[in-house]
Structure 1
Amino acid sequence: MGALIRVYALTVVRIKEFTTSQFRQNDAGAFLTIDRHPVLLPPTLARLLKAHMASPQASSMLKPRASSGPDYLLPGRHAGRPLSASHIIKRLRNHDLPTRAARNTAMINAITELPPIVISDLFGLSASTAFQWAKFAQQNWTGYLALQE
């Protein structure tokens, strides 16, 4: 799940709500629907998600009850509920994957390649937040690029 943060600047709170029905694969590639947008996944990430869904690791000590709810990519201890955000963050930290720094880096990379309004729609941010990220990225990268010349 760290890859979803690093590639798409997603928050753990959003990732924990992803369900298996949001993943689709066809001849064109593998897609994960983020909000209402099917996003093409890199092949390696698609393989990882497929393998993860093939053997979900619910952490309950009790036999899970049948659930009429969605099948979460990250199933929690209770049937029909995802892992908590704090548990996911703890798992990522145990593998030296800091979530905030990874998301910030991904957001800066995205905002330098796409217009803020596209980022707003794609990542589910408010337009003002996307424009703040663009301003932040421009301020930081301008000085850095000037030093590289």
Structure 2
Amino acid sequence: MFAGLNPARPIQSQYIYLKLRRLGLGGLAGRNTSRLALAADVPASILAALTGTGIDNATDWTHFVKRDWTGYISSR
């Protein structure tokens, strides 16, 4: 699939992105789907730490899936 690449040199993300687009696969859609699934299962603070995003961004994702974590946070 990645013929002609040098194994000693890392593959640039843009090359992978273009190759996936030619095959009809979008990386952004998969990443967003996995982030939504994760946002439905964990509180925003944990989502922010796991994905490396800001707490405001993680809060937006958890509000998008409409999960309320106040009971979990109060029990901790």
Shift in Å, 1:96? 2.1
Match of 1:135 in 2: 63
Q: Give the RMSD, CA atoms, in angstroms.
A: 2.2
Counterpart of 2:52 in structure 1 is 124
Q: 2:10 aligns with which of 58, 73, 82?
A: 82
Offset of residue 97 of structure 1: 1.6
Please, which runs of 5 or more residues in structure 1 have no aligned partner? 1-56, 61-74, 139-149
* Equivalence for 2:72: none
Say which of 83, 87, 101 aligns to 2:29. Answer: 101
Q: Which has the higher strand share?
A: 1
Aligned residues: 65
Question: Distance in 2 between the 1:58 and 1:121 partners?
Answer: 37
Return the TM-score normalized by structure 1: 0.38
TM-fit CA distance, 1:106: 1.0
Look up the SS of the partner of 2:65 in the other structure: helix
Give the drift of 1:93.
1.8
CA deviation after TM superposition for structure 1 residue 95, in Å: 2.7
Give runs of aligned pairs for residues 18-37 of structure 1, distance below 5 A: none
The amino acid across from 1:115 in the alignment is P
Which is richer in helix? Answer: 2
* Matching residue's letter, 2:38: A
2:24 aligns to what SS in structure 1?
coil
Gaps of 5+ in 2: 67-76
> Whole-Å Cα distance in 1 between the matches of residues 60 and 10 of structure 2?
31
Identity percentage of aligned residues: 28
- With structure 2 as the length reference, what TM-score do the two structures score? 0.69
CA displacement 1:72-91 (0-9 Å, x = unmatched): xxx5xxx4x42122101012
Runs of 4+ in 1 over 6 A off after TM superposition: none
Q: CA deviation at 1:58?
A: 6.7
